[in-house]
A and B are shown apart, each in its own frame.
Chain A
Amino acid sequence: MRARYPDEEGYVERGGVRTFYEVYGSGDPTVLFLPAWAILHSRMWKSQIPYFARYQRIVTFDPRGNGKSDRPPDPAAYADTEYVEDALAVMDVTGTERAILVGLSFGGWLAARLAVDHPNRILAVALIGPAIPVGQSLPGRKRYSFDDVLETEEGWAKYNRHYWRKDYRGFVEFFIGEMFPEPHSTKQIEDGVTWGLETTADVLTATRDAPSLQRSLMDRPDEAAEFCRRIRCPVMVIHGDQDRQVSYTRGVETARLTGGEVVIIHGAGHHPPSREPVKTNLLLRAFIDRLYGPWSNLGRNIGIAGM
């Protein structure tokens, strides 16, 4: 059973694709927990939601491609702009004019896009291991072609469309395993693999083939930096220095470019919300309290009642 069940749930439909959302608790400001890559879904926030829902309203949703959301076959349906529009649609349907965003990995990228493109609706963003293409890529990680047939299936060679089709579970187990370099992470890995197997190789392949500003900025660091500088709302970054999927230098650089604060967790991997849930919760709590707590200037200015 879950620690906390939603007070409200439903679907929002865009272009024939249905996105499943949940709402918990009450009280301003609303916190929207964004999806990451569609290999995971909204249960990845299970260690956060019961805690934050005691203080304020929480909204979360499953990404198209996993969970209770639809899995359209067309790669174009998985463009990052589609996820941005889904987030706005969920905010609309739940009556959420403005929200604080929490995003992990690809979700960190989505949070940044929302903050840049829709500043009037975003109060602040908390980015965890954000896949924002500033800073460095991981040193020592061997690059393999995604599209070519490879001679090896070792390590990151599994990140390959042919391997996915051949042994999808093998890829999910590898990928989720990489997410948790911390010892004794069996339960977190088991959860992640379960969620990963709720979608398919075809869906993940479609997400990989979708158009994405994020990927196109990978080779254009100046434009990526300029993009970050356009974030005007408060920013906090949490990043594990053992992250094997997104170098923590990306998080540090994002914080620097946005004038935000960064917490580096020694020994943590790519998913602190699951593996370091208490620390993550308290860091997010402190960030939100500094901005919208009972003593905050901002809270008073936007007319948010005492929390």
Chain B
Amino acid sequence: MRARYPDHEGYVERDGVRTFYEVFGSGKPTIVLLPSSPIIHSQQWKAQVPYLARHFRVVIFDGRGNGRSDRPEISEAYADQAIIGDTLQVMDATGTERAVFVILCHAWWVLDLAATYPERVLGLVAIAPGTPLAPIHSNRAQYVARFDEPRGDYEGWAKTNRHYWLQDWRGFVSFFFDRMLPEPHSTKQLEDIVGWCMETTPETMLLNRAAAHFPKTKEEAEELCRKVRCPVLVIHGDLDECQQPAKGEAFAKLTGGKLVMLEGAGHMTPGRDPVKVNLLTKEFVDTLTALQPREVRWTRAMGRRKRALFVSSSIGLGHIQRDLAIARELRALIPDLEIDWWAQHPVTEVLNAAGERIHPQNHLQALESAHWEEEASQHELHAFYAFRRMDEIFVANFMLFHDITRETPYDIWIGDESWEVDYFLHENPELKTAPYVWLTDVIGFLPVDPDGDPREVTLCADYNAEMIEQRARYPRLRDLSLYIGEYDELPDAAFGPGLPNIREWARTWYKPVGYVLPFDPLQYRDQKGLRQRLGYGNGYPLLFAAVGGTGVGRNLLQRVIDGFGQLRETMPDARMVMVTGPRIEPDELPDVQGLEKLSYVHNLFEHLACADAAIVQSGLSTTMELVATRRPFADVPLRKHWEQQHHVGFRLRHYGATNRLEYAELSPGRVAETLQQLVGSRVNYREVPRDSARRAAQQIARLLSR
């Protein structure tokens, strides 16, 4: 799913060719993010749109030949004048008199646009601008010169050839954009771009190549540059193999613009260094629109209240209970500490119920839980791939985090699996302006299908390697890394081929605080008394089923209901309480005798502590609460969920909870049989520590006071 959807969309038509556009936001001025078409389409700006649209109005469109725009079959339709005409018409259709233009690579026609229509251009951001201001890159000059000649082989840059394009378009774009992304760990960006390239055809690209483009010579380009009157910002990667950095330098010099050279960066900086490109663009646009009447307040340092920003991951509901437990202990240590929470629905409901203060701009986040639900089906959630496809949401939400932490100078940032904050801070370490604590209960992506999916093996290892390199390069970026558990609760496995062992690595890079429970388990050992107190009464088998906070558990609940129906044939007095979570309506599930369905139960652990047996999804919080209250249970991991499959399973075995069922084998008979065996069985679990929240809080408090 996208991090932000357009407020308005439509088509313009010129000479029978339709161009698709989208409009986001309502600020001033308008920014038109121009297409590098036809090779890619407007999704190229997915890391920019959500951020810029919060501050300005953003217009994007698919250039003819790709995306949702038409693909005319004559080359004249791809001439510079055609796309300039489309741009002006999109501006007219969207009521955009003047705009700031942003272009990647295809700057030649934008130069012409800016020089010819100065009244419509407020400013120009030219990223890796391609013009004849410097010679074509030496890597492929000889092949471009003989583009039309068939060759015996098409190794390397020889793929820059008409015949190879027609023979293996995917082969060309895979090679080309791999070279455009020299930065390590660029797998997601490459995959995205190749996907967009495959939405057009080599035939279209050849039509574009044959169309009229201007300027052709260095002199023509120089003359055009000098005609540009608007402010210009040039962003260029010094490792760019498409447009040499010398082109960007000359472009900035001749237009009187400012050059920002990104060292170590390639050609695709909007995708690969999104935070930097976004902030540079924002800063540039701000200078064009100074003098807006506004009021700013700044509080002297010594007059500020002590404030923490607590970022609680919204993937599942378990984190928030432990985060609240840590926050309680932290307040006991630092009574004047105010905490603002940064979280998403449904976590915000828990926070509201607890009377906590949620940051007022919280609701502007792109929703993670909606993304997870879209990714899930049939008790299956490929958590790693889903996580990886969250790239657009992560960058959008990091930009928001960046804005709010600039507005409020917090004393500390605490992130419980705040993946986007952690990743982009390591990518942009100069943006760290407060002590920063990272908490996690999971370290390392482990493949769920190592035999059947070699791509997953490679990608997991690549993600782990990037994280390991980030930590090694910027060790002080996190002032504290806390592992929610002990070292021996971690998988005894490598991060990937040739990478360190997770448990050994963690000994260097994490402080363990023990598994954090949101309650004291000793108060929940009197099952009979508790059942009395909560109104369940005694004298019959009380069963529980629960699936956590997302909508993914629906299929599991359905099977459990069928199994419970069978169980009632042999255990007719059994009753079951089923907790569907806030995202599954109880009414959507069938009714069976003895079954009570609830969507949300406050302090679920109290109720689980009453159970004679339970069957639950392998979410960490629920299973560990059952371990802590010493109830017999079976857990069913989501298929392809790396954390439930590996980390939770490993931890549960460590604690002696070994009744794990696979969804595939979960027939109604199997459910009934399992519950039958569990009722009345004895457990032999390891004790869960009771002081972990305090241990975590003590570590964090050291960053706030002496």
User: What is the interface of chain A, defined by CB distance below 8 A to chain B?
Assistant: 182-183, 234, 252, 255-256, 259-268, 276, 279, 289-291, 293-297, 300, 306
B286 in the interface, Cβ–Cβ < 8 Å? Answer: yes
Partner of B287, one of A260, A262, A264, A295: A295
Contact with A along B269-311 (1 / 0, CB 8 A): 0000000000000001011101111111111101100000000
A259 in contact with B291 given A268-B300, A295-B233 (CB within 8 Å): yes
* B123 lies within 8 A of A296 (CB): no
Can you add 11 more A-B contacts, CB < 8 Å, to A266-B299, A290-B290?
A255-B293, A256-B293, A259-B293, A262-B294, A265-B300, A267-B300, A267-B303, A294-B258, A295-B233, A297-B230, A300-B256
* A289 lies within 8 A of B287 (CB): yes
A263 in contact with B256 given A290-B290, A296-B287 (CB within 8 Å): no
**How far is B230's CA from A267's CA once the two chains are assembled, in angstroms?**
41
B231 in the interface, Cβ–Cβ < 8 Å? Answer: yes
Interface centre among B230, B292, B293, B300 (most CB of A within 10 A): B300
A268: chain B residues within 8 A (beta carbon)? 300
Contact count A vs B, C-beta below 8 Å: 74
Closest beta carbon of chain B to A122's beta carbon, Å? 15
A234 in contact with B297 given A295-B231, A300-B231 (CB within 8 Å): no
**How far is B302's CA from A266's CA once the two chains are assembled, in angstroms?**
10
A264 in contact with B293 given A293-B287, A295-B123 (CB within 8 Å): no
B286: chain A residues within 8 A (beta carbon)? 290
* B298 lies within 8 A of A266 (CB): yes
Closest beta carbon of chain A to B655's beta carbon, Å? 51
B292: chain A residues within 8 A (beta carbon)? 261
Report the nearest A residue to B295, measured CB to CB. Answer: A262
Interface centre among B123, B230, B258, B290 (most CB of A within 10 A): B290
A259: chain B residues within 8 A (beta carbon)? 291, 293
Partner of A267, one of B258, B284, B299: B299
Partner of A276, one of B233, B284, B288, B300: B300
Report the nearest A residue to B259, measured CB to CB. Answer: A294
**How far is B296's CA from A290's CA once the two chains are assembled, in angstroms?**
16
* B288 lies within 8 A of A297 (CB): yes
* B300 lies within 8 A of A182 (CB): yes
Report the nearest B residue to A235, measured CB to CB. Answer: B291
**How far is B293's CA from A261's CA once the two chains are assembled, in angstroms?**
5
* A296 lies within 8 A of B300 (CB): no
**How far is B297's CA from A295's CA once the two chains are assembled, in angstroms?**
26
A261 in contact with B284 given A291-B290, A295-B231 (CB within 8 Å): no
A306: chain B residues within 8 A (beta carbon)? 256, 258
Closest beta carbon of chain B to A228's beta carbon, Å? 13
**How far is B293's CA from A259's CA once the two chains are assembled, in angstroms?**
5
Report the nearest A residue to B288, measured CB to CB. Answer: A297
Q: How large is the interface on B (under 10, 10 to 19, 20 to 34, 35 or more residues)?
A: 20 to 34
Report the nearest A residue to B122, measured CB to CB. Answer: A297
**How far is B284's CA from A293's CA once the two chains are assembled, in angstroms?**
10
A266: chain B residues within 8 A (beta carbon)? 297-300, 303
Report the nearest B residue to A182, measured CB to CB. Answer: B300
* B291 lies within 8 A of A264 (CB): no
**How far is B297's CA from A261's CA once the two chains are assembled, in angstroms?**
11
Closest beta carbon of chain B to A268's beta carbon, Å? 6
**How far is B297's CA from A263's CA once the two chains are assembled, in angstroms?**
6
Report the nearest A residue to B300, measured CB to CB. Answer: A267
* A261 lies within 8 A of B231 (CB): no
Report the nearest B residue to A289, measured CB to CB. Answer: B287
Closest beta carbon of chain A to B305's beta carbon, Å? 11
Closest beta carbon of chain B to A300's beta carbon, Å? 7
Report the nearest A residue to B298, measured CB to CB. Answer: A265
Report the nearest A residue to B230, measured CB to CB. Answer: A297
**How far is B427's CA from A251's CA once the two chains are assembled, in angstroms?**
41
Contact with A along B121-160 (1 / 0, CB 8 A): 0010000000000000000000000000000000000000
Closest beta carbon of chain A to B363's beta carbon, Å? 26
Contact with A along B208-244 (1 / 0, CB 8 A): 0000000000000000000001110100000000000
Pairs A–B under 8 Å by Cβ, sample size 19: A234-B290, A256-B293, A259-B291, A260-B291, A261-B293, A261-B296, A262-B294, A263-B298, A266-B297, A266-B303, A268-B300, A276-B300, A289-B287, A290-B286, A290-B290, A290-B291, A295-B231, A295-B284, A296-B231
**How far is B231's CA from A300's CA once the two chains are assembled, in angstroms?**
8
Report the nearest A residue to B303, measured CB to CB. Answer: A267
A265: chain B residues within 8 A (beta carbon)? 297-300
**How far is B295's CA from A183's CA once the two chains are assembled, in angstroms?**
26
B230: chain A residues within 8 A (beta carbon)? 297
**How far is B123's CA from A131's CA once the two chains are assembled, in angstroms?**
38
Report the nearest A residue to B286, measured CB to CB. Answer: A290
* B290 lies within 8 A of A296 (CB): yes
Closest beta carbon of chain A to B550's beta carbon, Å? 42
A262 in contact with B233 given A183-B302, A290-B287 (CB within 8 Å): no
B298: chain A residues within 8 A (beta carbon)? 263-266, 279
**How far is B293's CA from A234's CA once the two chains are assembled, in angstroms?**
10
**How far is B477's CA from A230's CA once the two chains are assembled, in angstroms?**
51
* B295 lies within 8 A of A255 (CB): yes
Contact with A along B596-614 (1 / 0, CB 8 A): 0000000000000000000
**How far is B298's CA from A252's CA once the two chains are assembled, in angstroms?**
14
Interface centre among B256, B257, B287, B292 (most CB of A within 10 A): B287
**How far is B483's CA from A47's CA once the two chains are assembled, in angstroms?**
46
**How far is B291's CA from A260's CA once the two chains are assembled, in angstroms?**
6
* B296 lies within 8 A of A263 (CB): yes
Closest beta carbon of chain B to A191's beta carbon, Å? 19
